[in-house]
Structure 1
Amino acid sequence: MIEAILYSLAGLVGLAVGGELLVRGSVSIAQRLGVSNLVTGLVIVGFATSMPEMVASIEAALAGSPGIAWGNVVGSNLANTLLILGATALVMPIALSGTGRRDAIVALVASLGLWALTAAQIGSIWVGIGLLLGILAYIYWRYNHPHSDVGDDEDEPEAQTALTFSIVLFLGGLGLLVFGGQLLVSGAIDMARIFGVSETAIGLTVVAIGTSLPELAASIAAAVRGKPGLAIGNVVGSNIYNILLIGGATMTIAPFAIPADLLTYELALLALSAVAFLALVARAKQIGRAMGAILLIAFTANIVIAFT
Structure 2
Amino acid sequence: MVTYLSLAAGLLLLLFCGDLLVRGAVALATRLGIPSMVIGLTIVAFGTSAPELVVSIHAALKGVSGIAIGNVVGSNIANVLLVLGLPAIIYPIICDQPAIRRNTVIMLGSSALFTFLCWHGELHFWQGALLFLLLILFLAYSAHYAATCPEAVSGEVDELIEEGALPAGSGRITVYLLAGIIGLPLGAHLCVTSATEIARTFGVSEAAIGLSVIAIGTSLPELATTVAAALRKQADVAVGNVIGSNIFNILGIMGITAMVKSIPVPPNFLFFDLWVMMIAAVLILPFALARTTITRSAGAVFLIGYMSYLYFLFLADQAASGM
- Both proteins in one fold, TM over 0.5: yes
**Residue in 2 that maps onto 1:67:** 66
> Quick one: which amino acid aligns to residue 78 of structure 2?
A
CA distance in 2, matches of 1:301, 1:4: 27
Q: How many residues are treated as equivalent by the alignment? A: 307
CA distance in 1, matches of 2:151, 2:243: 12
CA distance in 2, matches of 1:228, 1:142: 22
Distance 1:263 1:231, change over 3 A: same
CA distance in 2, matches of 1:255, 1:84: 30
Distance 1:149 1:257, change over 3 A: farther
The C-alpha deviation readout for 1:38-76, integer Å capped at 9, x for no partner, is 212221111001001011111111111001110111000
Deviates more, 1:265-274 or 1:89-98: 89-98
- Out of 183, 190, 194, the position equivalent to 1:183 is 190
The C-alpha deviation readout for 1:255-302, integer Å capped at 9, x for no partner, is 123222201211111111111112212225211222111111111111
**Residue in 1 that maps onto 2:320:** none
Distance 1:66 1:21, change over 3 A: same
What percentage of aligned pairs have identical amino acids? 41
TM-score by length of 1: 0.93
1:95 aligns with 2:102: no
1:75-94 alignment runs, 5 A limit: 75-94=74-93
**Residue in 2 that maps onto 1:55:** 54
Q: Secondary structure at the residue paired with 1:249?
A: helix
TM-score by length of 2: 0.89
Contact 1:98–1:149 under 8 Å retained in 2: no
Q: Secondary structure at the residue paired with 2:83?
A: helix
1:279-294 alignment runs, 5 A limit: 279-294=286-301
**Residue in 2 that maps onto 1:242:** 249
**Residue in 2 that maps onto 1:217:** 224
The C-alpha deviation readout for 1:157-213, integer Å capped at 9, x for no partner, is 414542411232122122211111100000110111111111111110011111111
**Residue in 2 that maps onto 1:202:** 209
**Residue in 1 that maps onto 2:319:** none
> Quick one: which amino acid aligns to residue 244 of structure 1?
L
Tell me how far 1:148 sits from its aligned partner: 8.0
Tell me how far 1:27 sits from its aligned partner: 2.0
> Quick one: which amino acid aligns to residue 144 of structure 2?
N
* RMSD between aligned residues: 1.9
> Quick one: which amino acid aligns to residue 169 of structure 1?
Y
- Out of 159, 168, 179, the position equivalent to 1:162 is 168
CA distance in 1, matches of 2:151, 2:55: 31
Q: Secondary structure at the residue paired with 2:63?
A: coil
CA distance in 2, matches of 1:148, 1:112: 30
**Residue in 2 that maps onto 1:124:** 124
Contact 1:150–1:230 under 8 Å retained in 2: no
CA distance in 1, matches of 2:231, 2:33: 29
CA distance in 1, matches of 2:220, 2:256: 21
CA distance in 1, matches of 2:224, 2:15: 11
The C-alpha deviation readout for 1:133-160, integer Å capped at 9, x for no partner, is 1111111110111028865565554145
CA distance in 1, matches of 2:236, 2:92: 12
**Residue in 2 that maps onto 1:109:** 109
The C-alpha deviation readout for 1:106-132, integer Å capped at 9, x for no partner, is 110110011101112243111111111
> Quick one: which amino acid aligns to residue 133 of structure 1?
L
1:7 aligns with 2:13: no
Q: Which contiguous aligned blocks of 4+ residues in structure 1 show a shift greater than 6 angstroms?
A: none
CA distance in 1, matches of 2:298, 2:153: 22
Q: Secondary structure at the residue paired with 1:145?
A: helix
